[in-house]
Chain A
């Protein structure tokens, strides 16, 4: 689950989940939705993604940078993320999707990078929430 946030020059999102693994999956889905219209993505191919970080914040930034690399460098349209493992500064996940197709998944914004700007990760009694701004 996620929503888009405002920024003077760029754009961000708030994502949430009942645990950190769900939070990371939601944040990845938010990033995909900034880059393209995700409705028609078919989840037919499997990709393994992983990232490391020395804090939860840097793990989240590096994880989203990994997802961005798959979108922009490998030409993937990921439709679903299953975060398999998230502990000790490491995250591993499986992304399901298909090759990007401009006709079926029209491009929205070219995301340049994930930033630490106003980055927030919070745990409330009900859920985990993050706020992330990206450079576009």
Chain B
């Protein structure tokens, strides 16, 4: 595998037809990140993605890329809507895993004395649901409505405001979602899990704006230095996981039928135009809607917790909610021509630039807020989508710091109390529902989020708007 430099942050693996590659791989990374990336199988996985039938443009790898299943995490692939394939592995088990940023009107100095009470309250009110049960039990008909209308259903129940919908990607509900394409098993796994965070790398962090890098964009997003914000990172829970499991199981046989051969079964795919492809997309959209409903329900519980600590007037406005595991039909330009493509974003965040018609009016001039959670206890970033993303990456950028160390390695030689104490010394309170939750997510297990951000900023895919620092962490 020959990797050549295009410039300091762009690198290419040229198409090798002998290896069944249909296109190049383009990797966005600094030299140091590239060395880290080369240690696992993620570049080989990006090469495998370049073999997908109907791929348009290169197989793209973001600077936070790490080894996943089939697709690398941090991978982007656009496939032609008429002649290309859809791959559930290009979306992942956690359909519409995403990030929601909420701003308060509270300053960090006012929050600090109340942080312990606040974190305990949020930990009580916003459940992680690691044992499989959440605070909301949906009836069958209600679940169908969630799958059809996502966050909008939650707001209709009185759990939020119309304004929340305006600031959610796709207004919190993808059209053409079909609950009938979601299995009973998936519905059963999701029925009790609405309003829960889950575990793994999912979390809720109370943070403050440490530094503003783009004053105009920050103003448009209502962010200023010292302001307390909350970042929520989670997805479609068991419902989405089961949708992926169900369709992966069917696709092995379907691939044989369509004569598609790929080196990794986890990359299973079918033509978008096939019945199997359309069924998966209809089910995936329903699961995506469940995830937006989930993050909306979490926002409702979060508002309750803040009001209990800071009084009933405590106001919390959604800055934005954006997804980083999905396949969406979008219109782009490639090689000067209009293309109608399905953009697979597997651990990659949509980053639409200023002027894009899908953005709410407030963000027309500054571009879409791109929310990048860092590792626990370090920093997170707010970026704004830039024109480079439309030219080069089908409107996509990175999604996080990217894992460097296995969970087992992260746990070795550490204990939960020490990790918690170390975080407290830095002024960060941490609560975890499971014993290993904190250990497995120690900052050392991740790449340096600042370096990841520097790459996408330098490459012109997105602009830095603000750096956020944690005050309190809640984990599954």
Contacts and interface: CB of A to CB of B under 8 A. Distances in A.
Interface of A: 4-11, 36, 54, 58, 61-62, 65, 68-69, 71-75, 100-102, 106-110, 112-117, 133, 135-136
B122 to A, nearest CB: 19
A75 B405 CA distance: 31
Contacts of B185: 69, 73
Nearest to A105: B131
B437 to A, nearest CB: 9
A19 to B, nearest CB: 25
Task: Name the residue among B93, B189, B264, B403 with the largest chain A CB count within 10 angstroms.
Answer: B93
B188 interface: yes
A110 B249 CA distance: 20
A57 B249 CA distance: 11
Contact of A107 (B40, B130, B238, B242): B130
A109 B252 contact: no
A69 B189 contact: yes
Contact of B266 (A11, A54, A102, A117): A117
Interface in B186-225: 188-189, 192, 198-200
Interface residues of B, number: 45
A58 B436 CA distance: 30
A87 B248 CA distance: 22
Interface stretch (B63-71, B315-323, B365-373, B460-468): B63-71
Contact of B242 (A4, A11, A73, A109): A73
B403 A108 contact: no
Contacts of B133: 75, 102
A41 to B, nearest CB: 13
Nearest to A69: B185
A70 B408 CA distance: 26
B145 to A, nearest CB: 20
A8 B130 CA distance: 22
15 contacts: A6-B409, A7-B406, A8-B40, A8-B406, A9-B66, A65-B249, A100-B131, A106-B435, A107-B199, A108-B435, A109-B200, A112-B244, A113-B242, A117-B69, A117-B264
B446 to A, nearest CB: 10
A72 B409 CA distance: 27
B249 A72 contact: no
A112 to B, nearest CB: 4
B406 A6 contact: yes
A62 to B, nearest CB: 6
Closest 5 A/B residue pairs (Cβ):
A107-B130, A102-B131, A6-B406, A112-B93, A73-B189
A113 B244 contact: yes
Contact of B241 (A11, A106, A109, A113): A113
B408 A135 contact: no
Nearest to B45: A117
B238 A135 contact: no
A8 B249 contact: no
B277 interface: no
Nearest to B347: A9
Given A108-B436, A136-B199, A115 B409 contact: no
Contacts of B92: 135
Nearest to A37: B435
A110 B265 CA distance: 23
Contact of B434 (A62, A69, A108, A112): A108
Given A69-B242, A73-B185, A106-B435, A8 B93 contact: no
Nearest to B41: A8
Contacts of B252: 54, 58
B435 A135 contact: no
A72 B408 contact: no
Contacts of B130: 102, 107, 109-110
A64 to B, nearest CB: 10
B407 A11 contact: yes
A113 B245 contact: yes
Nearest to A66: B185
Interface in B432-462: 433-436
B94 interface: yes
Interface string B251-278: 0110000000000111000000000000
B476 interface: yes
Nearest to B129: A110
A101 to B, nearest CB: 8
A107 to B, nearest CB: 4
Nearest to B435: A106
A11 B476 CA distance: 16
A112 B241 contact: yes
Given A73-B185, A74-B188, A106-B435, A116 B266 contact: yes
B204 to A, nearest CB: 15
A135 to B, nearest CB: 5
B434 A107 contact: yes
A32 B238 CA distance: 16
A133 B253 contact: no
B298 interface: no
Nearest to A6: B406
A72 B434 CA distance: 16
Contacts of A100: 131-132
